[in-house]
Chain A
Amino acid sequence: MLQYVVKRLLSTIPVLFGISLLLFFMLRMLPGDPAQVLAGQMATPEEIENIRHQLGLDRPIHVQYAFFLSRLALFDLGRSARTQNPVTEEIWARLPNTILLAVVAIALACLFGIPAGIVSAVRPYTWTDYVVTFSALFGISMPVFWLGLMLVVVFSVMLNWLPAGGTGSWKHVILPSLTLAALMVAFIARMTRASMIEVLSQDYTTTARSKGLKEQVVIIKHALKNALIPIITVVGLQFGLLLGGAVLTETVFAWPGLGRLIVDSILARDYPVIQGAILVFGLLYILVNLIVDLVYAYVDPRIRYE
Chain B
Amino acid sequence: MNKRTQTSARPPQDRPPEGKLRRGWAKLRRNKAALFGGILILIYLATALLAPVLFPGNPSAPNLARSLERPSLEHPLGTDELGRSILGRIIYGSRVSLLIAVGVILVGLLVGVPLGLVSGYYGGKIDFGIQRVTDTMLAFPGFLLALALVAVLGVGLKNTVISVGISMVPMYIRLVRGCALSVREQVYVEAARAVGTRDVVILLRHILPNVMVPITVQTSLGMGMAILFAAGLGFLGVGVQPPTPEWGTMLGSGRVYLFNSPHVATFPGIAIFLAVLGFNLSGDGLRDVLDPRFRI
User: Do A and B form a real pair?
Assistant: yes
User: A116-156 toward B: CB 8 Å interface, digit per residue (1/0)?
Assistant: 00000000110000000110011011111110011011000
A274 touching B151, Cβ below 8 Å:
yes
Q: Which of B212-256 contact A (CB under 8 A)?
A: 224, 228, 231-232, 235-238, 248, 251, 255
**Within the complex, what minimum Cβ distance (angstroms) separates A51 from chain B?**
19
- Cβ distance A162 to chain B, nearest Cβ, rounded Å: 14
Q: Does B231 contact A149, Cβ atoms closer than 8 Å?
A: no
Q: What A residues does B251 contact at CB under 8 A?
A: 143, 145-146, 149
Contacting pair A146 B147 (CB below 8 A): no
Q: Which one of B23-31, B50-58, B188-196, B258-266 is at the interface?
A: B258-266
- Decide if the interface of chain B is mainly helix, strand, loop or mixed: helix
Contact, CB under 8 Å: B136 / A22: yes
Given the complex of chains A and B, what is the CA–CA distance between A187 and B230 in angstroms? 21
Contact between B262 and A157, CB atoms less than 8 A apart = yes
Q: Is B181 an interface residue (CB 8 A)?
A: no
Task: Check if A145 sits within 8 Å of B147, measured CB to CB.
Answer: no
Stretch at the interface among A57-65, A81-89, A280-288: A280-288
What is the bound-complex CA distance between A15 and B140, given in angstroms? 10
Complex contact B136–A266 (CB within 8 A): no
Binding stretch for chain B, among A72-80, A93-101, A221-229, A246-254: A246-254
Q: A26-B148, A29-B152, A149-B251 are in contact. Are A251 and B236 (CB under 8 A)?
A: yes
- Contact mask B136-152 → A, CB, 8 Å, 1/0? 10011111100110111
Residues A171-193 near B (CB distance < 8 A): 190-191
Q: Which of A15, A143, A252, A281 contacts B136 (CB 8 A)?
A: A15
Please give, as numbers and ranges, the residues of chain A lying within 8 Å of B141 by CB-CB distance: 240-244, 281, 285
A278 at the interface (CB under 8 A from B): yes
Taking CB atoms, residues of chain A closer than 8 Å to B41 are: none
Residues of A within 8 A of B1 (CB): 133, 137
- CA of A94 to CA of B20, assembled, Å: 56
What residues make up the interface of A, taking CB atoms closer than 8 Å to B?
14-15, 18-19, 21-22, 26, 29-30, 124-125, 133-134, 137-138, 140-146, 149-150, 152-153, 157, 164, 190-191, 194, 240-245, 247-248, 251-252, 262-263, 266-267, 271, 274, 278, 281-282, 285-286
- For this complex, 9 residue pairs linking A to B, each with C-beta atoms less than 8 Å apart, are A15-B139, A18-B132, A18-B133, A21-B136, A149-B258, A191-B296, A247-B147, A263-B237, A267-B238
Closest 9 CB pairs of A and B: A18-B136, A146-B269, A244-B143, A240-B141, A141-B277, A141-B276, A244-B141, A153-B262, A266-B151
